[in-house]
Amino acid sequence: MPALDGLKVVRSPIHGYGVITLRRFAAGDIIVYGDGVVYSEDDDFDDTYALLLHIPDEDSGEPQLLLDLTDQTRWINHACDPNTEVDVSWDPDTRIATAWWVALRDIEVGEELTYDYAFSAPLAEPCACGSDSCRGIIVDLDEIDQVTGPNRDLIRPRFRRRLRRRAG
Protein backbone atom coordinates (compact mmCIF):
# COMPACT_ATOMS: atom_id res chain seq x y z
CA MET A 1 0.00 0.00 0.00
CA PRO A 2 1.58 3.38 -0.97
CA ALA A 3 2.01 5.84 1.90
CA LEU A 4 -0.52 8.65 1.93
CA ASP A 5 1.07 11.94 0.89
CA GLY A 6 2.48 13.94 3.80
CA LEU A 7 1.61 11.35 6.46
CA LYS A 8 3.54 8.63 8.27
CA VAL A 9 2.53 5.85 10.65
CA VAL A 10 4.64 5.77 13.80
CA ARG A 11 4.51 4.43 17.35
CA SER A 12 2.37 6.89 19.25
CA PRO A 13 2.68 8.23 22.81
CA ILE A 14 -1.13 8.17 22.91
CA HIS A 15 -1.72 4.54 21.94
CA GLY A 16 -0.14 1.87 19.72
CA TYR A 17 0.39 3.24 16.24
CA GLY A 18 -0.56 6.78 15.28
CA VAL A 19 -0.13 9.07 12.26
CA ILE A 20 2.17 12.10 12.12
CA THR A 21 2.55 14.78 9.46
CA LEU A 22 5.58 15.05 7.17
CA ARG A 23 4.58 18.53 6.05
CA ARG A 24 2.71 21.52 7.39
CA PHE A 25 -1.05 21.83 7.02
CA ALA A 26 -3.03 25.05 7.45
CA ALA A 27 -6.33 25.34 9.30
CA GLY A 28 -9.12 24.27 6.95
CA ASP A 29 -6.91 22.12 4.70
CA ILE A 30 -8.23 18.71 3.72
CA ILE A 31 -5.39 16.55 4.98
CA VAL A 32 -6.37 13.20 3.55
CA TYR A 33 -9.20 11.15 2.05
CA GLY A 34 -9.47 7.72 3.67
CA ASP A 35 -10.30 4.54 1.79
CA GLY A 36 -12.42 1.83 3.34
CA VAL A 37 -15.02 -0.92 3.03
CA VAL A 38 -18.65 -0.44 4.03
CA TYR A 39 -20.21 -2.80 6.60
CA SER A 40 -23.55 -2.98 8.32
CA GLU A 41 -23.74 -3.11 12.11
CA ASP A 42 -25.26 -6.59 11.63
CA ASP A 43 -22.11 -7.89 9.92
CA ASP A 44 -19.58 -9.86 11.92
CA PHE A 45 -16.40 -7.79 11.59
CA ASP A 46 -13.77 -6.08 13.78
CA ASP A 47 -15.00 -2.49 14.08
CA THR A 48 -11.86 -1.17 15.85
CA TYR A 49 -10.88 0.76 12.73
CA ALA A 50 -14.35 1.73 11.55
CA LEU A 51 -16.03 5.10 11.30
CA LEU A 52 -19.75 5.49 11.85
CA LEU A 53 -21.04 6.34 8.40
CA HIS A 54 -24.79 6.46 8.45
CA ILE A 55 -27.34 6.47 11.25
CA PRO A 56 -30.75 5.67 9.74
CA ASP A 57 -34.02 7.04 11.13
CA GLU A 58 -35.07 5.09 14.22
CA ASP A 59 -38.29 3.80 12.64
CA SER A 60 -36.68 2.83 9.30
CA GLY A 61 -35.55 -0.58 10.55
CA GLU A 62 -32.32 -0.11 8.59
CA PRO A 63 -29.00 -0.98 10.23
CA GLN A 64 -26.27 1.56 10.93
CA LEU A 65 -23.46 1.56 8.40
CA LEU A 66 -19.77 1.68 9.18
CA LEU A 67 -16.68 2.35 7.06
CA ASP A 68 -13.81 0.00 7.92
CA LEU A 69 -10.73 2.09 7.07
CA THR A 70 -8.21 0.17 4.98
CA ASP A 71 -5.35 2.66 4.61
CA GLN A 72 -3.08 4.61 7.01
CA THR A 73 -6.03 6.65 8.25
CA ARG A 74 -7.05 3.60 10.30
CA TRP A 75 -4.22 4.46 12.72
CA ILE A 76 -5.30 8.03 13.53
CA ASN A 77 -5.82 8.22 17.29
CA HIS A 78 -8.45 10.05 19.33
CA ALA A 79 -7.83 13.25 21.30
CA CYS A 80 -10.27 15.26 23.41
CA ASP A 81 -8.69 18.45 21.99
CA PRO A 82 -8.11 17.20 18.42
CA ASN A 83 -6.29 18.91 15.58
CA THR A 84 -8.56 17.48 12.87
CA GLU A 85 -12.18 16.58 12.34
CA VAL A 86 -13.42 13.79 10.13
CA ASP A 87 -16.33 14.20 7.74
CA VAL A 88 -18.10 11.35 6.00
CA SER A 89 -20.48 11.08 3.09
CA TRP A 90 -22.58 8.13 2.01
CA ASP A 91 -24.41 7.81 -1.30
CA PRO A 92 -27.10 5.13 -0.93
CA ASP A 93 -27.58 4.89 -4.71
CA THR A 94 -23.97 4.15 -5.62
CA ARG A 95 -23.19 2.78 -2.13
CA ILE A 96 -19.98 4.81 -2.23
CA ALA A 97 -18.65 6.15 1.06
CA THR A 98 -16.08 8.88 1.49
CA ALA A 99 -14.24 10.04 4.59
CA TRP A 100 -11.90 13.01 4.82
CA TRP A 101 -9.95 14.72 7.59
CA VAL A 102 -9.85 18.53 7.86
CA ALA A 103 -7.30 20.52 9.89
CA LEU A 104 -9.00 22.37 12.77
CA ARG A 105 -5.91 24.56 13.23
CA ASP A 106 -2.45 24.94 11.69
CA ILE A 107 -0.58 21.65 12.10
CA GLU A 108 3.23 21.63 12.11
CA VAL A 109 5.57 18.95 10.72
CA GLY A 110 5.81 15.96 13.07
CA GLU A 111 2.56 16.56 14.97
CA GLU A 112 0.38 13.55 15.55
CA LEU A 113 -3.01 13.78 13.86
CA THR A 114 -6.03 13.24 16.09
CA TYR A 115 -9.78 13.54 15.89
CA ASP A 116 -12.60 13.23 18.41
CA TYR A 117 -13.96 9.68 18.18
CA ALA A 118 -17.05 10.84 20.15
CA PHE A 119 -17.93 7.28 21.14
CA SER A 120 -21.44 6.64 22.43
CA ALA A 121 -21.59 6.04 26.21
CA PRO A 122 -21.70 2.20 26.03
CA LEU A 123 -18.55 2.19 23.85
CA ALA A 124 -16.52 4.59 26.03
CA GLU A 125 -12.86 3.66 26.66
CA PRO A 126 -10.13 5.14 28.89
CA CYS A 127 -8.41 8.05 27.14
CA ALA A 128 -4.66 8.68 27.09
CA CYS A 129 -4.66 11.77 24.85
CA GLY A 130 -2.87 13.79 27.55
CA SER A 131 -4.52 17.10 26.65
CA ASP A 132 -5.47 19.64 29.31
CA SER A 133 -9.08 19.20 28.28
CA CYS A 134 -8.98 15.39 28.36
CA ARG A 135 -12.33 13.95 29.46
CA GLY A 136 -10.58 10.92 30.96
CA ILE A 137 -12.51 8.64 28.65
CA ILE A 138 -13.15 8.55 24.93
CA VAL A 139 -16.80 9.54 24.74
CA ASP A 140 -19.13 11.95 23.04
CA LEU A 141 -19.38 14.95 25.37
CA ASP A 142 -23.15 14.90 24.94
CA GLU A 143 -23.28 11.33 26.28
CA ILE A 144 -20.83 11.70 29.18
CA ASP A 145 -23.65 11.68 31.73
CA GLN A 146 -24.81 8.28 30.44
CA VAL A 147 -21.48 6.52 31.10
CA THR A 148 -21.69 3.76 33.69
CA GLY A 149 -19.34 1.27 35.36
CA PRO A 150 -15.58 1.74 35.85
CA ASN A 151 -15.35 4.26 33.00
CA ARG A 152 -17.51 6.67 35.00
CA ASP A 153 -14.78 6.84 37.69
CA LEU A 154 -12.25 7.89 35.04
CA ILE A 155 -14.15 11.03 34.05
CA ARG A 156 -11.94 14.04 34.84
CA PRO A 157 -13.04 16.44 37.63
CA ARG A 158 -14.15 19.31 35.42
CA PHE A 159 -16.52 16.98 33.55
CA ARG A 160 -17.74 15.50 36.84
CA ARG A 161 -18.94 18.99 37.73
CA ARG A 162 -20.82 18.94 34.44
CA LEU A 163 -22.44 15.62 35.49
CA ARG A 164 -23.56 17.13 38.79
CA ARG A 165 -24.97 20.22 37.07
CA ARG A 166 -26.90 18.00 34.66
CA ALA A 167 -28.20 15.89 37.55
CA GLY A 168 -29.71 19.10 38.87
Ligand X SMILES: C[S@@+](CC[C@H](N)C(=O)[O-])C[C@H]1O[C@@H](n2cnc3c(N)ncnc32)[C@H](O)[C@@H]1O
The residues binding ligand X (CB under 6 A) are 12, 14-18, 48-49, 74-75, 77-79, 125, 127-129, 138
Q: How far is the CB of 19 from ligand X (least distance, A)?
A: 9
CB of 75 to ligand X, least distance (A): 5
The candidate with the shortest Cα–Cα distance to 23, out of 114, 107, 116, 139, is 107
Build a one-symbol-per-residue string for 77-96: x at contacts with Zn ion by CB under 5 A, - elsewhere.
---x----------------
CB of 82 to ligand X, least distance (A): 10
Closest CA to 83 of 147, 36, 18: 18
Q: How many residues interact with Zn ion (rule CB under 5 A)?
A: 4
Decide: is 137 part of the binding site for Zn ion (CB under 5 A): no
Between 29 and 111, CB nearer to Zn ion: 111
* Residues within window 61-80 making contact with Zn ion, judged by CB under 5 A: 80
Closest CB 94 distance from ligand X, rounded Å? 26
Phi–psi pair at 71, nearest 5 degrees: -120, -165
CB of 75 to Zn ion, least distance (A): 17
Residue 53 Rama label (left phi>0; alpha psi -120 to 50; beta):
alpha
Q: Using CA atoms, how far apart are residues 142 and 49, in angstroms rounded to an integer?
A: 22
Choose which of 127, 139, 144, 155 interacts with Zn ion (CB under 5 A): 127
Q: Which does 49 bind (CB under 5 to 8 A by kind): ligand X, Zn ion, none?
A: ligand X
Task: Give me the residue whose beta carbon is nearest to ligand X.
Answer: 16
Residues in the chain, total: 168
**DSSP type of residue 107:** B
Distance of alpha carbon 76 from the chain centroid:
8
